[in-house]
């Protein structure tokens, strides 16, 4: 991740590639949120995903462009599962800033017991809240991504829009979004990790995340239709 100094025009917020932007400068995560996250990789790129159930994963809709998606614990270890079905949010439009850049993936087989479904927060996060973001993206501009590591960092809500958030570094932190973090979770923490948003890109040094609250109903409805376990 990288710290932010200014806000680019809204149209620049959404990524234009299948690899989103990652947590350059963030610290490797021990075990606190690893059980909620996976790598979503295809033939044309990779992203991060959030575990909704043992066989359903939430990620960014633009990550579907990677094609032939599979899910890994990280990029190098053995394959966890192929993706058998991918449903993008019906209102997602790649050319529209603030569009609900979300997709839900159905897996061919359940994830191991070491993974746990995340708690979805249906309420809006408070303005200027401090949040925890996590992703399997690059750790530095010259990171080749040969051995992806989940990284986490504390970020602060800079601006809360009607459908998404912009986040900045906290204190002297310079960590911010970079390639590979799209689909990565944004958590609030009050004794429990609660998913409040999903990273989809960046504007300058700001991290951009689609909020769960306005999309909570669609997520639950789609999970039910997919028959997640």
Is the domain covering 10-29+119-213 a CATH 3.30.420.40 domain? no
- For the stretch 9-26, pLDDT in tens is 222 333 433 344 445 444
- For the stretch 23-69, pLDDT in tens is 544 455 556 799 999 999 998 888 999 999 999 999 999 999 988 89
Q: Which of 137-146, 152-161, 181-190, 210-219 has the lowest mean pLDDT?
A: 137-146
pLDDT exceeds 80 at position 136:
yes
- At residue 10, what are phi and psi to the nearest 5 degrees? -55, -35
Domain definitions of the chain by residue range: 10-29+119-213, 34-117+215-226
Confidence category of residue 75, pLDDT binned at 50, 70, 90: low
Q: What is the mean pLDDT of residues 187-195?
A: 94
CA 162 from chain center: how many Å? 19
Whole-number Å distance between alpha carbons of 223 and 203: 30
Name the token pair of 120: 């979805």
For the structural domain made of 34-117+215-226, what CATH number should be given?
2.40.10.10
- pLDDT reported for residue 139: 57
CB within 8 Å of 81: residues ≥ 6 apart: 55, 70, 71, 107, 108, 109, 110, 111
Tokens 């439009």 correspond to what residue?
93
Handedness of CA 40, 122, 229, 30 (dihedral sign): positive
pLDDT exceeds 50 at position 124:
yes
Assign residue 128 a region (left: φ > 0; alpha: ψ between -120 and 50; beta: otherwise): left
């Amino acid at each position: 991740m990288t710290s932010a100094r200014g806000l680019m025009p809204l149209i620049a917020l959404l990524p234009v590639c299948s690899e989103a932007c990652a947590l350059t400068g963030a610290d490797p995560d021990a075990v606190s949120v690893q059980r909620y996250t996976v790598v979503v990789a295809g033939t044309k790129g990779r992203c991060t995903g959030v575990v909704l159930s043992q066989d359903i994963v939430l990620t960014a809709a633009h990550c579907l462009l990677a094609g032939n998606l599979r899910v890994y614990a990280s990029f190098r270890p053995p394959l966890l599962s192929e993706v058998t079905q991918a449903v993008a949010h019906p209102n997602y439009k790649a050319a529209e800033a603030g569009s609900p850049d979300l997709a839900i993936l159905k897996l061919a087989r359940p994830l191991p017991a070491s993974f746990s479904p995340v708690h979805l927060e249906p309420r809006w996060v408070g303005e200027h809240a401090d949040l925890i973001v996590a992703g399997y993206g690059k750790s530095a501009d010259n990171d080749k991504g040969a051995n992806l590591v989940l990284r986490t960092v504390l970020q602060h809500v800079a601006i809360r829009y009607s459908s998404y958030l912009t986040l900045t570094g906290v204190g002297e932190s310079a960590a911010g979004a970079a390639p590979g973090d799209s689909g990565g979770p944004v958590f609030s923490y009050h004794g429990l990790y609660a998913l409040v948003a999903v990273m989809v890109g960046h504007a300058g040094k700001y991290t951009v995340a689609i909020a769960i609250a306005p999309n909570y109903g669609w997520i639950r409805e789609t999970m039910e239709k997919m028959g997640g376990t």
